[in-house]
Amino acid sequence: MLIETLSKQQWETYRITTRCHICEKSFASDDTPVCDHCHLSGRYCGPAHANCNLNYKNSLYIPIIFHNLLGYDTHFIIKEIAYEGHVDVLSIEQKKNKKKISFTKYVKDTAERADSRKCIKL
């Protein structure tokens, strides 16, 4: 996804910044900060060293795997985990007699700075 258009204030902050938002170290005189952004939402995150930006990993996703869950009625599980916040259910995939279902629970209480896009996803 492409980066969102930066506001005037974001550009000004980017232009005068002295620290990488990922490692929090100062930029050297020969460093050119890059615009780090979320590749899922396109939202601008902040200025970063090129290496920090390339090596940064999003740790907001925690995979949980259920074996043979599709053989059971998952409706009651989805209903229980969706009590607060929301759940995305992806389509069922079938390959060689194996069926897969995928759903994501967004843990809203873990949102960073009231930004629901930065919450933990299970």
In tens digits, the chain (122 residues) has pLDDT values of 577 888 999 899 888 999 999 999 999 989 889 998 877 667 888 999 999 988 887 666 666 776 666 666 677 777 777 766 677 766 666 666 666 777 777 776 655 555 555 666 76
- The answer as to whether 30 is a domain residue is yes
Question: How many residues are there in the chain?
Answer: 122
Decide: helix, strand or coil at residue 53. helix
Q: CA-CA distance, 29 to 42, in Å (whole number)? A: 28
CA distance 25 to 66: 41
Domain containing 43: what range? 8-55
**Domain assignment of residue 60, yes or no:** no
DSSP 8-state assignment for residue 117: G
User: What amino acid occupies position 93?
Assistant: E
Count of domains in the chain?
A: 2
Residue 47: predicted pLDDT: 92
pLDDT at 28: 92
At residue 93, the pLDDT reads 64
User: How many contiguous H segments (helices) and E segments (strands) does the chain have?
Assistant: 3, 5
Please indicate, yes or no, if residue 13 is contained in any of the structural domains: yes
Number of C-beta neighbours around residue 38 at 10 A: 16
> What is the value of pTM for the model shown?
0.48
Q: Within this chain, do residues 46 and 75 fall inside the same structural domain, yes or no? A: no
Tell me, yes or no, whether 51 and 73 share the same domain.
no
